[in-house]
Structure 1
């Protein structure tokens, strides 16, 4: 795994368990849907969300990728990308639905860019914590 931690201010006001679940689900999917040794990159950066400072967390892989028509559905509860009669990856279609629900509950967004055979990049964007007021 390659880490590129470039966020200027990675301070979030978030539920630790939910944030851990978001990252675990994205990393587990990168591993499950990679053929051979997974090539995973986790990158953080400072960005803006609805005009406010935010933290972007990207999890990228070189796995099997997701077609455009399936990208629209992967965050739906119980949705799994059809694989015909091949069921070599276990799951219930709950992981990415959890990621979307938890991200949105924190006021954030989740997006995906992917191409079959070329891997996927998931981007979670979460608002940064307000800075504490300086004492006068």
Structure 2
């Protein structure tokens, strides 16, 4: 990557709270390695990842052709995800089946987040990011 907002990567993870599991989806810019969009919900569904991508699009306003990389999970192969990408001029890219190394920047971010702020903790509410 030679400049920001030309390639992004997305994935989601889970966080335990006293109210139950929460799911955090992020979009990371592959040039700067910064989180450019995120969303949190109590369900791991297509709306979660679309909201994270929408927050990235609102914040960064990428040019048409920005690549958005993800794994081949059902939320990323859904019609809603694909339609959102197409309607915003974004290009879909997916990891090879069963290969987490293809999405290493996001996996690395989640590993660090869990090691530094989440592991061995149970947050009191679903407003986890108030505490992280």
Please tell me the TM-score bracket, short chain as reference: under 0.3
Q: Which has the higher helix share?
A: 2
TM-score computed with the length of structure 1 as normaliser = 0.25
The structure with higher relative contact order (CA 8 Å, sep 6+) is: 1
Larger radius of gyration: 1
